Amino acid sequence: MVYYHILKNAFLVLLQYPSSILTTILSYILRGVFLLVFWNVVNSNVDSNLNLISYFLISNGISDLLMIHNTSIGRELRKSIQRGEINQVLIRPVNIPLYFTFYTIGKLSIKLLVSLIGIIIGMLMIQDITIQGFIIFILFMLIAVALT
């Protein structure tokens, strides 16, 4: 329950900056639009372009959900040590890695939510997806999240 409050507080801090939320959403939309325009110029086959766009949405969503390109947890730990704020965390009865993990998830919650929406849209764009394939995808995503 303590970690939920950590995540919630980090999310509430994020809500204080609506321009940051807007830029996160716009960056995803602009990347998708530029990719669509690029592939329409390069390739006139609409079906293969939709497959490329769905691949883009799913791969970017997965990398954001797993925080592959983002080392925010280590960055937050380093910043709290440099600022002397680590003492406030150390006196709490919490697991330090879990504290920074949930704090980072709360800070990046809008980005993670947009990534999840991108994965769902990408999955819907695939014409020949089966229920078994979708269930296997969800299982592998849960395993990947648990391993990271």
The confidence band for 70, taking pLDDT boundaries of 50, 70 and 90, is: low
Please say whether the beta carbons of 129 and 54 come within 8 A.
no
pLDDT at 72 over 80: no
Contacts for 10 with CB less than 8 Å, ≥ 6 apart:
102, 103, 104, 105, 106, 107, 109
Q: What is the DSSP letter of 108?
A: T
CA 112 to chain centre: 3
Among left, alpha and beta (phi > 0; psi -120 to 50; other), residue 129 is beta
At residue 18, the pLDDT reads 84
Q: Rounded to a whole number, what is the largest CA-CA distance in the chain?
A: 61
CB-CB contact of 142 with 134 (8 Å): no
pLDDT of the residue at 69: 64
* Residue 143 confidence (pLDDT): 84
pLDDT of 66 over the 80 cut: no
What's the pLDDT at 34?
Answer: 84
**pLDDT tier for residue 56 given thresholds of 50, 70 and 90:** confident
Tens digit of each residue's pLDDT (9 = 90 or more) over 96-108: 888 888 888 888 8
HSE value, Cβ hemisphere, 13 Å, CA-based, for 24: 19
Name, in order, each residue with C-beta under 8 angstroms of 81's C-beta and a sequence gap of 6 or more.
Answer: none
The yes-or-no verdict on residue 84 having pLDDT over 70 is: yes
